[in-house]
A and B are shown apart, each in its own frame.
Chain A
Amino acid sequence: MTADELASELAQAFPSDSNDLARLHARLTSAAQRDGILDVAYRTVDSPVGPLLLATTEAGLVRIGYASEDHDAVLQSLADRISPRVLNAPSRLEAPARELGEYFTGRRRSFDLPLDWRLAAGFRRAVLSHLPEIGYGQTASYAAVAGLAGNPRAIRAAASACATNPLPIVVPCHRVIYSDGRIGNYLGGPEAKRTLLSLEAAA
C-alpha cells in the first residue's frame, strides 16, 4: 500500500460528510454570534431580478449585491472594508429576506429595516439617505435628487451616489432616472431597473 493509498484509507476511516459539516457550521455560527465575533453575516435569496446577496452587521443591513457584481467579489470587499469575520448565517437575515419577499410580491411598499450606512460616505450618503422620500411607484430625476441632498447642481455626484448604492432596492436608487425619461444605468443592469419600476407601477 502506497502512502497515497494509506492516506485515502485513513480519510475513509475518518469521514467528514456534508451533513456533519452543515451541522457544525450552524453550531459555529451561533457560538460566534453569542460571542460577538460574527462581524458580517450573509445569505442569498432568489428574486425576480436574480439571486441577491444580503449582508448585515450588528448595526443593520449593510449590503445588497446583485449577481452581476459577483457575490464572491462582494464578500471579499466586505472582508476588506469591514472585517474578515464573515459567515454564511441565514438566520441573521430573516427580516430583510422576508421584507424583500413581500416587496417582490407587491405586498410591501417601504422597508422597515435597520440599515448600516458605513459603506457610503459624504455627499453620496446624503443623496442615498434622501432616496426613500421618493415614493413607491414614483420616479425622480438625478437633478431633483441632488436638490434633495442640498446641492441641485451636483447632478453627476448624485448619479454616482446611485451607481454605488450599497443597498439597492431597499434604498430605492432604481426610482432615479434622467429628466428626459431615459432610464439610466443601474448596478444590477438596466433590465433589473426596468423590472423593479414595472413591478411598482403594476402594484
Chain B
Amino acid sequence: MTGKQPFEAVVARHGATVLRVCRAVLGPADADDAWSETFLSAMRAYPDLPEGANIEAWLVTIAHRKAIDVTRAAARRPLPLAQTPDGATGAGADNPGQAVGLGIGSDLADAVAKLPAKQRQAVAYHYLAGLPYADIAAIIGGSADAARRAAADGIAALRRAFPGATKEPTHERRGQ
C-alpha cells in the first residue's frame, strides 16, 4: 500500500512556488521566515493531512496565515530608522517594504508591493501559485467573485504602474 509521499518530495515540488508567493506577499526581507514557518508547520501536520488533499492549496493556506503572523511580528519590532523616516507607517500588511536587490523584474516587484493586501494576495495566489479563485476565496475570505475582482484590480494597477505590463489588453482568466 502506498500512502503519502515523503515530505522531502513535497518540499522539492512546492518549495519554489511557496517562496515566490511569500516574496510577493511579504517582500524579500520577511519571505524567508514565512517560508520556514510554513514548511515547519506543514511538516508537523503532514501525517494528518487527508489523502488526496490539494497540497499546493494547503501550503498556500498555511503560508497566508504565517505571512500575517510575520507581518504582525514585524509591526511590533522596532524598525531601523532608514526604513521609516516618518515613523508612521510600519511594514504592515499594506506596505511590505521595498523590493530590493531582485534584479530583473524589480520594478514589477515594487509595483506589487504597493498593491493593497487583498489584491496582492489574490494576484500572488492566482498568478504565482496557480490556484483557482474558489480556493483563493477560502484563504482570504469573501466570495470567489470578490477574489477574482481583487486579482483583476491588482493586475489593472500593475499595468498602470509598470509600463512593461501595459502592452496589450487582456484576458486574464486563467484556470477557473
Contact = CB atoms under 8 A, between A and B. Distances in A.
Given A16-B16, A27-B36, A79 B108 contact: no
A14 B109 contact: yes
B15 interface: yes
Interface in B117-176: 123-124, 127-128, 130, 155, 159, 164-168, 170-174
Contacts, number: 140
A37 B11 CA distance: 15
Interface in A64-85: 75-76, 78-80, 83-85
A10 interface: yes
B105 A28 contact: no
B36 A9 contact: no
A119 interface: no
Contact of A10 (B44, B127, B171): B127
Nearest to B4: A84
A128 B168 CA distance: 70
Contacts of A15: 20, 23, 102-103, 105
A87 B7 contact: yes
A185 B124 CA distance: 55
Nearest to B15: A21
Interface in B33-52: 35-36, 39-40, 43-44, 46-47
A202 interface: no
15 contacts: A2-B171, A3-B171, A7-B128, A7-B174, A10-B20, A10-B105, A10-B128, A11-B20, A14-B112, A24-B35, A37-B44, A79-B3, A80-B2, A83-B47, A85-B47
A57 interface: no
B96 to A, nearest CB: 12
Q: Which 8 A-B residue pairs are closest in the complex by CB-CB distance?
A: A13-B105, A86-B6, A16-B19, A13-B108, A84-B4, A12-B105, A14-B23, A13-B109
A34 to B, nearest CB: 9
Contact of B105 (A9, A21, A78): A9
Interface of B: 1-8, 11, 15-17, 19-21, 23-24, 32, 35-36, 39-40, 43-44, 46-47, 99, 102-106, 108-109, 112, 123-124, 127-128, 130, 155, 159, 164-168, 170-174
A17 to B, nearest CB: 9
Given A16-B20, A32-B40, A85-B7, A6 B102 contact: no
A3 B127 contact: yes
Given A6-B165, A13-B108, 13 more contacts: A2-B170, A3-B171, A9-B165, A10-B127, A11-B20, A14-B102, A20-B32, A21-B15, A28-B40, A79-B5, A80-B2, A84-B5, A87-B6
Nearest to B38: A28
Contacts of A84: 3-7, 46-47
A9 B35 contact: no
A25 B11 contact: yes
A9 B43 contact: no
Contacts of A85: 7, 43, 46-47
B167 to A, nearest CB: 5
A4 interface: yes
